[in-house]
């Protein structure tokens, strides 16, 4: 097990900057998820930790050893790829033992290690098969098995669940979490799926445009997103954003409606802000009350457990998430209220959180 320290890492492909001055330290045994949209640099950062991309500037250390110049094979890390990257011409057992054979591990030890890993992952009946004869989920398991037989210093995961169907993905997600609990190895996990990030991470690193936007535990990011990007990226259905200006102690939206400024938030008069409110923090109320808005239902999306109701309000498409079935029908007028304590206010110019 080991800690990973990333210091002022910069990466450019030719003249195109991909990562800009990244700092991050990952503690021993921690599960860190790098999340962001495609092209944000998360995979590049992971591949730099693995040694598959060279480092333009900065330093990466595993424990206290600088590894910038260390070849991937000497870094003692394991990686699970999105494509699984199983060796097609080798059996499952050979796939799992390849790294041990390269390290000239004694034969009995290899057998033991494979037996243990196969047991953990339920691969025993598949050991003599080739990858071609496995289902997607089984391949995924073999890829995991190949990583854990080695007892590496750290595990790297590059979107390992993206090629699975929804149900299997959920199942494997839980399995990865369980595995991490039992092994406790330092893990860096890259995904574009914010649910995976939320469920798996000890700490989430949200990235965008080659820059770290926010680092924190999952609920922190959900409750107090540091900027508009994180607010919009984390949470599903996504947060509603309403643009407005501060006028006379309240926020006046572009269509003239007013939103009360939450307690403890200080705005300058005339300041351009974006108000964020999660769909689950918008309530449908029985009748007009203080601070409620009248609106007409535009669209209803039942998700089974809850319902997403779209209304035209405050000059845009506002989503409401409600657990009450049949709360609204298309075309129906209704009144809604925002949960004042759970509003997120962002400066529109800097996009940073004000309160």
Partner 1 sequence: MQKIATRLEPWLYSAPVLILIVAIMLVPLALGVSYAFRDIRLLNPFSGAFVGFKHFRELAGDGAFRGALVNTLWWTFSSVILQFLFGLILALLLNRPFKGRALAQALCFLPWAVPSFLSGLDWAWMFNPVVGPIPHWLYALGILSEPSNILSDPETAMWGPIVANVWWGIPFFAITMLAALQAIPKDLYEAAEIDGAGPIERFRSITVPFLAPTMAISILLRTVWIANFADLIIVMTNGGPADRTQIVASYIFTQAFRRLDFGYASAIALVLLVLLLAYSMLIVVLRQTMLTRH
Partner 2 sequence: MTRKRIVLTVLHRLAVLAYVAFALFPLFWLLKVSVTPTSLLYTEGIRLWPSQASLEHYRFVLTHSSFPTFFLNSTIVSGATAVIVTIVASLAGYAMSRFVFRGKYWIVGLLLLTQMFPLVMLIAPMFKMLSPLGLTNSLTGLVIVYVAFNVPFATFLMQSFFDGIPKDLEDAAMIDGATRFTAFRQIVLPLTLPGIAATLGFVFTAAWSELLFALMLISGNQATTFPVGLLSFVSKFSVDFGQMMAAGVLALIPACLFFLLIQRYLVQGLTAGAVKG
Residues forming a β-bridge with 12: 17
4 counts as binding partner 2 under rule CB under 8 A? no
Pick out residues in 310-349 that bind partner 1 (CB under 8 A): none
Among 38, 88, 108, 263, binds partner 2 (CB under 8 A): 88
DSSP letter (8 states) at residue 234: S
Q: Cα–Cα distance between 281 and 218 in angstroms, integer?
A: 18
DSSP letter (8 states) at residue 261: P
Among 8, 23, 25, 54, binds partner 1 (CB under 8 A): 54
Query: With respect to partner 1, which residue has the nearer C-beta, 64 or 69?
Result: 69
Partner from partner 2, partner 1, none contacting 54, C-beta within 5 to 8 A by type: partner 1
Q: Cα–Cα distance between 342 and 331 in angstroms, integer?
A: 28
59 counts as binding partner 1 under rule CB under 8 A? no
Element (H, E) at 206: strand 203-208
Secondary structure string (H, E, C) spanning 97-121: HHHHHHCCCCHHHHHHHHHHHHHHH
Partner from partner 1, partner 2, none contacting 343, C-beta within 5 to 8 A by type: none
Q: Cα–Cα distance between 45 and 52 in angstroms, integer?
A: 10
**In the complex, minimum distance from the CB of residue 126 to partner 2, in angstroms, rounded to a whole number:** 19
User: Binding marks (x or -) toward partner 2, 123..162, rule CB under 8 A?
Assistant: -----------------------x---x------------
| Residue from 96, 157, 87, 151 nearest 123 by CA | 96
Pick out residues in 102-121 that bind partner 2 (CB under 8 A): 102-103
Supply φ then ψ for residue 96, to 5 degrees.
Answer: -75, -30
List the alpha helices (DSSP H) in 282-345. Answer: none
Contact range with partner 1 by CB under 8 A, out of 68-76, 160-168, 223-231, 299-307: 68-76
User: Binding marks (x or -) toward partner 1, 2..41, rule CB under 8 A?
Assistant: ----------------------------------------
289 counts as binding partner 1 under rule CB under 8 A? no
User: Binding marks (x or -) toward partner 2, 32..71, rule CB under 8 A?
Assistant: ---------------x--xxx------------------x
**In the complex, minimum distance from the CB of residue 50 to partner 2, in angstroms, rounded to a whole number:** 6
70 counts as binding partner 1 under rule CB under 8 A? yes
Q: Cα–Cα distance between 306 and 298 in angstroms, integer?
A: 17
**In the complex, minimum distance from the CB of residue 73 to partner 1, in angstroms, rounded to a whole number:** 12
**C-alpha pair distances (Å), 217 with each of 64, 96, 135, 155, 225:** 25, 33, 34, 19, 11
| Residue from 36, 47, 39 nearest 18 by CA | 39
Residues near partner 2, by CB under 8 A: 47, 50-52, 71-73, 75, 77-79, 81-83, 85, 87-89, 98-99, 102-103, 146, 150
């Amino acid at each position: 097990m080991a800690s990973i320290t990333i210091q002022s890492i910069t990466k450019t492909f030719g003249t195109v900057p991909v990562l800009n001055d990244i700092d991050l330290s990952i503690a021993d045994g921690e599960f860190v998820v790098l999340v962001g949209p495609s092209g944000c640099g998360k995979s590049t950062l992971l591949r730099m930790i693995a040694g598959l991309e060279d480092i333009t500037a900065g330093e990466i250390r595993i424990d206290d050893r600088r590894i910038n110049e260390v070849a991937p094979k000497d870094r003692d890390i394991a990686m699970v790829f999105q494509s699984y990257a199983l060796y097609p011409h080798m059996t499952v057992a050979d796939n799992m033992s390849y790294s041990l054979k390269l390290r000239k591990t004694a034969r009995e030890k290899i057998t033991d290690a494979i037996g243990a890993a196969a047991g953990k992952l339920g691969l025993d009946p598949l050991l003599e098969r080739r990858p071609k004869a496995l289902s997607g989920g089984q391949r995924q398991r073999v890829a995991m098995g190949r990583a854990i037989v080695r007892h590496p210093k750290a595990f790297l995961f590059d979107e390992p669940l993206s090629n699975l169907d929804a149900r299997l993905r959920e199942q494997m997600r839980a399995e990865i979490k369980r595995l991490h609990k039992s092994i406790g190895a330092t893990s860096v996990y890259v995904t574009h799926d914010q649910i995976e990030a939320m469920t798996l991470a000890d700490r989430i690193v949200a990235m965008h445009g080659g820059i770290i936007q926010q680092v924190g535990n999952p609920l922190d990011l959900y409750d107090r997103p540091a900027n508009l990007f994180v607010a919009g990226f984390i949470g599903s259905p996504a947060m509603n954003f309403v643009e407005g200006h501060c006028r006379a102690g309240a926020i006046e939206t572009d269509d003239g409606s007013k939103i009360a400024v939450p307690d403890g938030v200080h705005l300058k008069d005339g300041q351009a802000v974006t108000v964020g409110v999660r769909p689950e923090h918008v309530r449908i109320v029985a009748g007009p009350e203080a601070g409620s808005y009248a609106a007409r239902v535009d669209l209803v999306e039942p998700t089974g457990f809850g319902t997403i109701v779209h209304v035209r309000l405050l000059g845009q498409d506002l989503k409401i998430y409600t657990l009450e079935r049949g709360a609204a029908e298309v075309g129906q007028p209704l009144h809604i209220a925002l949960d004042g304590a759970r509003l997120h206010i962002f400066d529109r110019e800097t996009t940073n959180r004000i309160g």
